[in-house]
Amino acid sequence: MSAIRSFISQSLVGLAFLSASSVLLQSATAESISGKSGNVQAQITYEKPQEYQYKNVRLQISRSGQTVLDKKLPQESEYDRPIGDLLEGQEKNIPVLDLDGNKEPEVIADFFTGGAHCCTYSLIYRYDSKAKQYKKIRHEWGNGGYRLKDLDNDGLPEFDSRDDRFAYAFSSYAASGYPLQIWQYRQGKMVNVTRRYPKLIASNAAELWKTYNEIRQQGEDGKGFLAAYLADKYMLGQGQQGWQQVQQAYKKSDRTEFFTELRKFLRETGYIK
């Protein structure tokens, strides 16, 4: 009988050890997302020990099967998570594509820092053929993100985004509006090309004005949408007309203070030259 008890006891200890080992192995198992274009392949691996924790995030880029870059990516905290689907509608993979027309695909590693809204950013890797290595830049998107779209039909995608500096500037996050912002990646730099797309700016401005009128009927002051609308109007070269509309629309008791703060903010953000 004691032999049976000893066998059962040893078995239970063995099962407990196997169970603990299984948990440890499971927690150490790396997950991954990947992307490919031509002979260039990129993969991000990471460990996810807990639901909102991401550790040992590594990026590997290979060319024709040869690893050119393999390094641990910087994280501001363990909640920084790599994502392949930065915005709804994108597949869960790493964007690997030619951004600047040099017939060499760039690699975009997108991250989300966690939290209710903020923040997202991109690490963009460009191959230096002379140095035979990848060089990166970091671009901040704030609360929003981007969509890759070929807006001018030249075969190269633009980053269709918004100016996140307007978040919380005059209202809560939910009541903030955003001017259009369009970026191109050229020779290792992000270039703001928004003003080249007046039709898109005008469409964004019309949507902001419509939203302002809708929420005003609900009793909201709408300052966040008026601010973004006026920024769009300045990009269209219609700043004076925009001011007239905003001043006619906003009649609340703090209008003088609001207009003063708005003019200062638009100067600081570069909309008023």
Per-residue model confidence (pLDDT) at position 48:
80
Q: Is the peptide bond before 119 cis (omega within 30 degrees of 0)?
A: yes
Q: Is residue 49 predicted with pLDDT exceeding 80?
A: no
| pLDDT higher at 16 or 271 | 271
d(CA 42, CA 59): 7
Q: Is residue 26 predicted with pLDDT exceeding 80?
A: no
Mean pLDDT, residues 257-272 taken together: 98
Q: Is residue 87 predicted with pLDDT exceeding 60?
A: no
User: Binning pLDDT at 50, 70 and 90, where does residue 117 land?
Assistant: low
As beta bridge partners, residue 71 has 59
d(CA 39, CA 61): 10
Encoded amino acid at 169, one letter: A
Judge whether 44 and 57 are in contact, CB under 8 Å. Answer: yes
User: Binning pLDDT at 50, 70 and 90, where does residue 14 land?
Assistant: very low
Share of the chain above pLDDT 90, in %: 68
Per-residue model confidence (pLDDT) at position 248:
96
Q: Which of 31-40, 91-100, 212-221, 222-231 is most confident?
A: 222-231
User: Binning pLDDT at 50, 70 and 90, where does residue 42 land?
Assistant: very high
272: Cβ contacts below 8 Å, ≥ 6 apart: 234, 239, 263, 266
Per-residue model confidence (pLDDT) at position 79:
76
29-145 CATH: 2.40.128.460
d(CA 96, CA 202): 31
Per-residue model confidence (pLDDT) at position 91:
52
* Per-residue model confidence as pLDDT tens digits over 185-243: 998 999 999 999 999 999 999 999 999 999 999 989 999 999 999 999 999 999 999 99
d(CA 4, CA 7): 5
Length of the chain: 273
d(CA 34, CA 17): 34
User: Binning pLDDT at 50, 70 and 90, where does residue 140 land?
Assistant: very high
| pLDDT higher at 153 or 14 | 153
Sign of the dihedral defined by the CA atoms of residues 119, 47, 125, 133, in that order: positive
Q: Which of 195, 162, 187, 183 is nearest to 98 (CA)?
A: 187
Q: Is residue 76 predicted with pLDDT exceeding 70?
A: yes
SS3 26: helix
Burial 157-185 (b: 16+ CB within 10 A, else e): bbbbbbbbbbbebbbeeebbbbbbbbbbb
As beta bridge partners, residue 136 has 125
Mean pLDDT, residues 108-113 taken together: 91
Domain locations in the chain as residue ranges:
29-145, 151-273
User: Binning pLDDT at 50, 70 and 90, where does residue 179 land?
Assistant: very high
Mean pLDDT, residues 163-171 taken together: 95
Q: Is residue 84 predicted with pLDDT exceeding 80?
A: no
Q: Is residue 4 predicted with pLDDT exceeding 80?
A: no
Angle at which helix 223-235 crosses helix 198-216, to 10 degrees, equals: 160
Q: Residue ranges of the alpha helices (H) in 153-218?
A: 198-216
Question: For the chain, what is the mean pLDDT?
Answer: 86
